[in-house]
Structure 1
Amino acid sequence: MENMKKLSLEEVTDRVAIRDLIDAYAYCADTRDADGQMALFTEDTVFRVFMDERQTEPTQIVYSRTDLAPVFDSLTTYVSTMHFNGQSKITLSGDTAIGTTYCFAHHLTMDGGDKKLMVAAIRYSDDFIKINNRWFFKKRDLKVAWIETKPLNS
């Protein structure tokens, strides 16, 4: 524990605010608040989806906050979702930061009377920026490590 550096109050505040931003993203996804989710991003954001994290080229790229609407609205195809954020590694540099967050995203579908659960293991790679004392996603890469789909008993 000797090597633990002392954090300033500002750094602690920034770290808590960034974690709140990360968790707000998941909360908005699960409550189907696409407008709230979009508001977490800068106007000129870059959002990239890699359906296989081993690929170098993204499956999808979005270049602005307003163009995120269909991406986030697509969650309405599921009966329910539940995102569980795990550990995060954040590196602060003034009013910018980079980070990685682990997430299990649960997606429930119904086909007639059959329920299916799809769980995606996701790593988010983020660039953050603080504007007017508020943190935003400047760039977010959603990288799917694996997906498991299984029948779900009632």
Structure 2
Amino acid sequence: MTLEILNTKEQLRNLIDDYAYLSDEKKISEVVNLFTPDVVYKAYMGDFLAGNVSGRENMEKEFNVHASHVKTYFTLNGQHSVKINGNMATGISFTQIKMIRETGGKDVLSDYSVKYDDKYVFQEGKWLIKERIGYFVIVEARELKN
């Protein structure tokens, strides 16, 4: 494995970690800048297509609406494997996402186990996500006892 490949893998890992960090902090305008202007983002809950957005502007609107309903996000990234082909790459990553929302005056924790299938492209001197498909494999919600 060449130094260039190792460097690219690190940059791609940093990209998905930045997505998690910025999302947790609800820095949506910075999150969408991790994507290409023509991004396609889909989210499946089981077999149901729960989200389908394209373009940064639409993504920012959708993400802001979602974030407005969430009190706290906490994301933990796990495995991340990539295949690099010049200025393009594909990747699979696994993530645990926890979200706290208020429902009926009570805090409810939603716990998501997610597999992301990504397509990346190197543009303007940096790697960006061109397509992201999130498969929410396990979803659990429970009331928090404060």
Pick one of 42, 46, 50 that aligns with 2:36.
42
Unmatched tracts of structure 2, length 5 or more: none
* 1:116 counterpart residue number: 108
* 1:90 counterpart residue number: 82
Name the CA distance, whole Å, in 1 between partners of 2:35 and 2:16: 11
Secondary structure at the residue paired with 2:26? coil
* 2:62 counterpart residue number: 71
Alignment of 1:23-42 (within 5 A): 23-42=17-36
Pick one of 9, 16, 19 that aligns with 2:13.
19
Deviation at 1:59, TM superposition (A): 2.9
Return the letter of the residue paired with 2:30. G
Secondary structure at the residue paired with 1:59? strand
Q: Root-mean-square deviation (CA), in Å?
A: 1.4
Percent of aligned pairs with the same residue?
A: 24
Secondary structure at the residue paired with 2:38? strand
Name the CA distance, whole Å, in 2 between partners of 1:59 and 1:106: 18
Name the CA distance, whole Å, in 2 between partners of 1:61 and 1:113: 30
Larger radius of gyration: 1
Q: TM-score, normalised by structure 1?
A: 0.88
Larger strand fraction of residues: 2
Deviation at 1:63, TM superposition (A): 1.7
Name the CA distance, whole Å, in 1 between partners of 2:132 and 2:62: 13
Deviation at 1:112, TM superposition (A): 5.6
Pick one of 72, 81, 97 that aligns with 1:80.
72
Deviation at 1:111, TM superposition (A): 3.5
Name the CA distance, whole Å, in 2 between partners of 1:29 and 1:76: 12
* 2:92 counterpart residue number: 100
The answer as to whether partners of 1:100 and 1:126 remain within 8 angstroms in 2 is yes
Name the CA distance, whole Å, in 2 between partners of 1:140 and 1:113: 34
Secondary structure at the residue paired with 2:22? helix
Name the CA distance, whole Å, in 1 between partners of 2:80 and 2:99: 22
